[in-house]
Amino acid sequence: MRAAMRDDLPFPRTEVGKETEAYNFAYLDEQTKRMIRRAILKAIAIPGYQVPFASREMPMPYGWGTGGVQVTAAVLGPDDVLKVIDQGSDDTTNAVSIRRFFAKTAGVATTTKTREATLIQTRHRIPEEPLRDGQILVYQVPIPEPLRFLEPRETETRKLHALADYGLMHVKLYEDIARHGHIATTYAYPVEVAGRYVMDPSPTPKFDNPKMDMCAALQLFGAGREKRIYAVPPHTRVRSLDFEDHPFRIQTFKQPCALCGAEGGYLDEVVLDDRGGRMFVCSDTDFCEERRAAGHRGAMAADGDAAGETR
């Protein structure tokens, strides 16, 4: 059925239900989506390069993922299966409302399962389960310019990118080591894409940086307020910047997930009470649930799924 709908593009609104009829498919008008797709194609052609685009007003405030939502709207097809995560979680307000937004305006199927999704919009995490060919990961980006910290002038940062003049990026890392004895940047850790452009991977933990390298999925980045789109095509080298004597390292956790017992995943700290009780659990809720469904148990997991409900 959905394949048939494709033929009706650009006006496929007939089959998505009564409520949806007030909107064009995926909310944005076709001209806008075409404009955004052109920006995306350019971004894919020049990995890591920030392509300006005419960001639209969206029915949500800046900072809530307007860039990611526009990119998703532009690439979403009727037969896509959408997953939305916020800090790894499928059920935070932000994730739920974006998922509902597209269910309502595009009528697409949604899921919380990484494996089932064809398109994943994310805020600040990359799923633990390796992505595969054909999947698209859309990042919400607040500040796309990795050099902004040291160079406030846009004209100058553009020139620095054009000349691959990235000494400044290392000044930032130098400052980290000078102040903390190690590179203390743990989020939005700058990467070099395909040996050329330096890119801000959005505020994902640096733990996720290695997943970007040679990733099978297409990675798209949208910054709504800053009006920039950039991309990492599938199977592209993504290298985290570092010093020879202070090589890039990801965070490690002393204990496994308290719920599913997973080791080597990215954990969130959950405060349990006001007496200092706390637990560390997978930030990727889908990953954690899948493991528990497969019978894995962590130290604090009650029988069944009781502990999971505290989240």
Partner 1 sequence: MTDLPLLSARGLTKFYGERLGCRDVTFDLHEGEVLAVVGESGSGKSTLLGLLATELAPSAGAVHYRMRDGAVRDLSELTEAERRLLLRTDWGFVRQDAREGLRMGVSAGGNVGERLMAVGARHYGNIRAAASDWLARVEIEAGRIDDTPKSFSGGMRQRLQIARNLVTHPRLVFMDEPTSGLDVSVQARLLDLIRGLVAELGLAVIIVTHDLAVARLLSHRIMVMRRGRVIETGLTDQVLDDPREAYTQLLVSSVLAA
Contact (Cβ atoms closer than 8 angstroms) between residue 83 and residue 120: yes
Per annotation, catalytic residue among 88, 257, 261, 298: 257
User: Footprint of partner 1 on residues 47-76 (CB under 8 A)?
Assistant: none
For partner 1, which is the closer residue by CB, 167 or 295? Answer: 167
Q: Which residue has the tokens 């199977």?
A: 235
Q: Is 260 a catalytic residue?
A: yes
Residues binding partner 1: number (CB under 8 A): 19
CB of 6 to partner 1, least distance (A): 46
Q: What are phi and psi of 169, to 5 degrees?
A: -60, -35
| 178 is an interface residue for partner 1 by CB under 8 A | yes
Please state, in angstroms and rounded to a whole number, the distance separating the CA atoms of residues 253 and 112: 25
For partner 1, which is the closer residue by CB, 6 or 158? Answer: 158
Binding mask 115-154 for partner 1 (x = CB under 8 A): -----------------------------------x----
Element (H, E) at 104: helix 93-105
| 187 is an interface residue for partner 1 by CB under 8 A | no
Element (H, E) at 85: strand 81-86
DSSP-derived letter for residue 205 is: B
Q: Tell which one of 244, 273, 274, 309 touches partner 1 (CB under 8 A).
A: 244
Q: Is 265 a catalytic residue?
A: no
Contact (Cβ atoms closer than 8 angstroms) between residue 206 and residue 124: no
Stretch that binds partner 1, among 57-65, 125-133, 238-246, 271-279 (CB under 8 A): 238-246
| 155 is an interface residue for partner 1 by CB under 8 A | no
Q: Is 215 a catalytic residue?
A: no
Token reading at 242: 């570092």
For partner 1, which is the closer residue by CB, 129 or 156? Answer: 156
Q: Alpha helices of 146-303 — where are they, by DSSP H?
A: 154-162, 167-180, 209-212, 285-293
Please state, in angstroms and rounded to a whole number, the distance separating the CA atoms of residues 31 and 38: 11
For partner 1, which is the closer residue by CB, 23 or 248? Answer: 248
Sign of the Cα pseudo-torsion (74, 75, 79, 83, in order): negative
| 163 is an interface residue for partner 1 by CB under 8 A | yes
Please state, in angstroms and rounded to a whole number, the distance separating the CA atoms of residues 134 and 137: 10
| 181 is an interface residue for partner 1 by CB under 8 A | no
CB of 196 to partner 1, least distance (A): 14
Per annotation, catalytic residue among 215, 261, 288, 298: 288
Amino acid at 196: R
Per annotation, catalytic residue among 88, 222, 282, 298: 282
Please state, in angstroms and rounded to a whole number, the distance separating the CA atoms of residues 30 and 190: 34
Binding site for partner 1 (CB under 8 A): 150, 159, 162-163, 165, 167-168, 170-171, 174-175, 177-179, 242-246
The catalytic residues are 48, 257, 260, 282, 288
